[in-house]
Amino acid sequence: MLQVPLNLDTKTPMPVAALVAPATSFEHDLACAIILQLVEAPHIAVSPDVISKRDLTTGKVSTTVDWLQAGDPLGAMTFRGINVHKSTADYRELCEAASAILTQRGVFTKAIEMGLKIRAV
């Protein structure tokens, strides 16, 4: 059963339109999943400012800066998650809501296809 994530401030369901990301935002969504520790990707390093990816074939490193989209619901949750202690109920709730968005957007399915490990919330 698909759970619609709640707006963490108002505790109301988020509109479905807010859950659908443009096709070009997979890198953003995957980086959010990595920084929230929902996906393990040893060849991708993520900070709030930079994504660094190492090509497993060539070893070449590519970098994306200013990646976090605070206007996107998942980006806003990620930004909030960076500043919340990982052992709190607030962080678990935030990760559950982010996980629902990532599932809706197909990020976990693509990550599995890429051979990445998904962590349980």
Q: Where are the beta strands (DSSP E) in 1-121?
A: 39-40, 44-46, 50-54, 61-65, 117-118
* 3 located within any domain: no
Angle at 105 between CA 101 and CA 107, to 5 degrees: 95
Residue whose structure tokens are 């443009």: 22
* 76 located within any domain: yes
pLDDT for 86: 87
* 16 located within any domain: no
* 65 located within any domain: yes
* 73 located within any domain: yes
Residue whose structure tokens are 């607030």: 90
Residue-wise pLDDT for 9-62, tens only, equals 666 665 544 444 333 489 999 999 999 999 999 999 999 989 999 988 998 998
Residue 102 near residue 108 (C-beta atoms within 8 A): yes
pLDDT for 99: 96
- Going by pLDDT thresholds of 50, 70 and 90, the confidence category of residue 5 is low
Partners of 54 in the β-ladder: 61
Domains held by the chain: number: 1
Query: Using alpha carbons only, how large is the chain's radius of gyration in Å?
Result: 14
* 41 located within any domain: yes
Q: Which two tokens stand for residue 53?
A: 């990816």
Q: What is the residue range of 53's domain?
A: 21-113
| Count of Cβ atoms closer than 10 Å to residue 102 Cβ | 27
Percent of the chain residues topping a pLDDT of 90? 59
